[in-house]
Each structure stands twice: as structure tokens, then as C-alpha cells.
Amino acid sequence: CSPSCFRSREANTQNKRCALPNMESKGLLHEQKYLTSSPNLYFFTSEKQLESAMIQSPVPKGLSLSERGKVPVSKIVDYLRHTTSRGSEDSGLEELCNMLDPDQKDVSVDLETYHAIMKEWIEDCKRKCEDGATEEPTASREDLEFKVHKNTSEAKKMHARMNVTSGSLEAFGGDVSRGDMETSDLIICVADLQYNNQKLQEENNKLKLTLEAVDETNNKLLADNEVLHQQIKSIQHSVLKAKSLEEELEEAKNNLNLSEEKRQQILCQNKQLEKENQSLIMKITSLQEENIRNSMDAEGLQQKILELSKNAAELQIQAHIYENTVVNKEANLIQKEQDIKELKLTIVECSSVIETLRAEKSKLLENMQHMQQELISNGLSFPLLCKFNSNIPDGTNSLHCELELAQSSEISKTELTSLDETLDHEVLYLLQGPESAGEKFKTIMQNLVSSRASVT
């Protein structure tokens, strides 16, 4: 046998010593730092420790925490195998490899997928260990006894095999010269093997002593395990209850904060509404006062409207009267204008007649003077005619007077006097004709203008 065989046995004994109380802490640190193919999950007494173990699980160097790349499954398995010192035929690593790469195509996985599958793998390992927890104490004891017996038998066989001399080699057909040449090496090897044998015997004795301690500790661990299971259940129940209470407390705090905020908002709204109410009350009072003023103004306006309606009715009546008067005055004016036109025409005619009469008068006067001179020259005198001529100034005798004087022999005295008066009046009117007519026309026009101004 080679020394590697002894090293493997020493490793087996070291694995069994992990059950002792003084090795529990080392095993716990080893299990928390590196997750093997079949981790001892009894050290994880709660889900938080399981999660921390999963977080502390080995991560390949190609898949860093800061970078979000992908790493092949083969590299991950090799890294885990190298880290945990497991063989290539380890069932736990094969199961993990199948979970990471079901199709055996050496696919690449990212960090999130790796963590999820590792968590599932750890749960499976925990479940398997919990299923075999009842069978573990007896199995471990039998395993220890079997391995102790195996180690002693192998040590004896190894001691018998290594107790070889040059004669024995020669008996087996070996070369004596060759055996002499290798004697020093064999002596060294035998010394090493004897030392290892002695060491194994000491370890065997220690294992026998520890076997009894393991039985006691195993029983204690079983009792402690049951107690811990009960405590874990109670702790989990209390943790769940505490979580629910904490959630309820947080919810109550949130509700309280919300209600406090709502209360503050309602208070602010109440204050704002009070201010608005006060402003509305003031506006209502001002509007009432304004309404009273408006009602008083409306009454005054109604009275004014009544007065104005009366005045309007009176003014309408006066307007009708004035319209009628204006129409009458206009008709009068039109009539007077027509009269004025007729008067103008008559004045023109009268002026032409007066001119003709003056011309005839002047002719008649000349004829009378000529006839008077002839009569005087003939010795005839007419005292009535002389008297009449002396009473009428020059230039004022009318044609009618002259004609009447010419016919005085045929008219009586009374008739002559009345005729003289009418003739004088007509002659005076004719003599004053244009001037007096113009003055009358001016007075009529002034009366018309004054009457129109009073109408307007």
C-alpha cells in the first residue's frame, strides 16, 4: 500500500471526528464557507442561516458579483469539485450538474440562475438530510465500528506485508543483489510504515474512546435535536406571529399617519372654509345693504318713471297741439304768402294805373288851364270852379274830382260834397299807395315772424 491510502484513511477518521463537540464549530465554519455535495444541514438551524449559506456559496471567478456575465456549467462544477475536494463521481455534484445543465450541453448560466438553482439544490439536500435524520445515529455508530475494525485489520495486514527481509525476497524469486541494493530504502519504508502503524493504533485507541463519547453525544444530540426541533417550530411560529404583528403594527402606523395627514388636511380645509364662510357672510351683508339701496333707488326710479310718464303724456298732448298749431300756422303762412304775391301783383298793376292816371291828370290839368285861359280871355268866369281850385292844392287834385267839377252843373251841392270826400280819400290812398302798402306789408311780416318764433 502507498502512503496515499493512509492519508485517505486519516481523512475518513477526520470526517468522523466532526461529530465530536470540540469539532462542531470547525465543521460549521467549513459547511458555511464551502457547500459540499451532501452538506450537513443540521448546522443550519433557521432559514436565515440557510440563506446566508447560500449567499456564501462558492461563486466561480469567471462570474463576479459586479459583472453580469455567463459562465459554462463545466467550469462551475470543476471549481466546486476543486474547492470541496470531492471526486469526479460525487453524486451531489452530479445532481447539481444535472440541475444546472439538464441536456448535458455545457450551457452558460448567469449569476441569478446560479443562485436560484443553488438554493433549490440546498433545499433538496436539507430535505434528504431531514428524511435520514432518524437513521443517522445508529448508522454512524456502525460505520465507526466497521471502519475501526477495518483500520486495525488493514494495519495488521500492512505490518505483515511490510515485515520483509532479503531472504523472503529471495524466497519469492527476487534478486539478492537487488535486495541488498534496496535494503536501505526498504528499511526507511518499513520505519515509516511502522510509525504510521503505531500512529494508526493510537488513533484506533482514540477512536474506541471517542466511540463511547460519540454514543453519549449522539444520544445527547438526539435529545437536543428534538428539543431544537420543538424550539425551531416554536421560534418559527413566534417569528411568523412577530412578522404578522410587525406588519399589523406597520399597517397601523401607516393608517395612523394617513389619518393624521387627513386630520391635518381636514383642519386646514375647515379653517379655509371658516374664512370663506366669514367672507361670504360679509358679502351677504354688503349685498343685502346694496339690495336695500337698490330697492330704495328702484322706488325713486318708479316715482320718477311715473312723473316722466305723466310729463311725457303732457308733452305728447302739447306736441299734438303744437303740431296742429304749426300746421295751421303753416297753412296761414302759405295763405299769407299767396296774399302777399297777389298784393305785389295788385301793387304793380296799381302803380301802372297810377302812372297812367297821373299822365292823364297832367294832360287834363293842362287842358283845363288852357280852357280857363280861353274862357277868361273870352270874358267868362266860373266862381265854383275857382273856389274848388283854391281849396285843392296843386298836385293833389284827382281825376275824379276834376271830372266831378267838370260835371258840377249837373250835380247838386250835397252830392258834390260826398263825392268830393270819397274822391279825396281815394286820391289820397292812390297818392300814398306804394308807401302805405309797403308799411302795411312790413307790419304783416313782422307779425308773422313773431308768431312763428312763439310757436317754436
Residue 430: inside a domain: yes
Amino acid identity, residue 46?
Answer: S
Residue 59: inside a domain: yes
pLDDT the model gives residue 383: 47
pTM above 0.75, yes or no: no
Please write the tens of the pLDDT for every residue from 75-121: 888 877 776 666 655 667 778 888 888 888 888 888 888 888 888 88
The one-digit pLDDT tens for each residue of the chain (456 residues) are: 433 443 444 444 444 444 333 433 333 333 333 333 333 333 333 333 334 434 344 444 444 444 456 888 888 888 777 766 666 556 677 788 888 888 888 888 888 888 888 888 888 877 876 776 545 444 455 555 555 455 555 444 444 443 433 333 333 344 444 444 456 666 677 777 878 888 888 888 888 898 888 888 888 889 888 998 998 999 999 999 999 999 999 999 999 999 999 999 999 999 999 999 999 999 999 999 999 999 999 999 999 999 999 998 998 998 889 889 989 988 999 998 999 999 889 888 888 888 888 888 898 888 888 888 888 887 655 444 444 454 444 444 454 555 555 455 444 445 445 545 655 555 555 555 555 655 666 676 677 667 656 655
pLDDT the model gives residue 274: 93
C-alpha cell at 426: 281815394
CA 392 to CA 405: how far, in whole Å? 12
C-alpha cell at 143: 460505520
CA 114 to CA 433: how far, in whole Å? 150
Give the number of other Cβ atoms within 10 Å of residue 441's Cβ: 15
C-alpha cell at 30: 467549513
pLDDT the model gives residue 52: 40
Shared domain for 70 and 182, answered yes or no, is: yes
Give the number of other Cβ atoms within 10 Å of residue 16's Cβ: 19
pLDDT the model gives residue 84: 66
Separation of CA 169 from chain center: 104
Shared domain for 247 and 342, answered yes or no, is: no
Helix (H, G, I), strand (E, B) or coil at 379: coil
Residue 419: inside a domain: yes
**16 closest CA partner among 140, 154, 132:** 140
Domain that holds residue 418: 331-455
| Burial label, 76 (beta-carbon count in 10 A; 0-12, 13-18, 19+) | buried
Shared domain for 249 and 163, answered yes or no, is: yes
Residue 380: inside a domain: yes
pLDDT the model gives residue 110: 84
C-alpha cell at 351: 302803380
Residue 443: inside a domain: yes
Shared domain for 58 and 158, answered yes or no, is: yes
- In sequence order, which residues have a C-beta less than 8 Å from that of residue 419 and are 6 or more positions away? 400, 404, 411
Shared domain for 21 and 114, answered yes or no, is: yes
DSSP 276: H
Radius of gyration of the chain (CA): 82
- In sequence order, which residues have a C-beta less than 8 Å from that of residue 97 and are 6 or more positions away? 73, 77
pLDDT the model gives residue 287: 93
Shared domain for 220 and 365, answered yes or no, is: no
- Concatenated DSSP letters of 19-78: TSGGGHHHHHHHHHHS--SS--GGG--SHHHHHHHHHTS---TTS-SSS---EEHHHHHH
Shared domain for 34 and 182, answered yes or no, is: yes
C-alpha cell at 333: 303762412
H-helix or E-strand spanning residue 109: strand 108-109
**58 closest CA partner among 4, 122, 139, 10:** 122
- Concatenated DSSP letters of 382-432: -HHHHHHHHHSPTTT--HHHHHHHHTGGGS-HHHHHHHHHHHHHHHHHHHT
Shared domain for 228 and 337, answered yes or no, is: no
- CA neighbours closer than 13 Å in the CB half-sphere of residue 329: 16
Shared domain for 95 and 178, answered yes or no, is: yes
pLDDT the model gives residue 111: 82
| Number of separate domains in the chain | 2
pLDDT the model gives residue 112: 84
pLDDT the model gives residue 258: 93
Shared domain for 164 and 22, answered yes or no, is: yes
- Concatenated DSSP letters of 130-157: HHTTTTHHHHHHHHHHHHHHHHHHHHHH
Contact between residue 391 and residue 315 where contact means Cβ atoms under 8 Å apart: no
- CA neighbours closer than 13 Å in the CB half-sphere of residue 85: 5
Q: Which of 220, 238, 256 is the last residue of a domain?
A: 256
Residue 305: inside a domain: no
* Residue that has been written with the C-alpha cell 286820391 in this structure: 427
Shared domain for 239 and 384, answered yes or no, is: no
Q: Which of 216, 235, 256 is the last residue of a domain?
A: 256
- CA neighbours closer than 13 Å in the CB half-sphere of residue 214: 21
Residue 279: inside a domain: no
Residue 96: inside a domain: yes
Contact between residue 410 and residue 436 where contact means Cβ atoms under 8 Å apart: no
Shared domain for 243 and 335, answered yes or no, is: no
* Residue that has been written with the C-alpha cell 287834363 in this structure: 364
Contact between residue 86 and residue 93 where contact means Cβ atoms under 8 Å apart: yes
Q: Which of 256, 278, 300 is the last residue of a domain?
A: 256
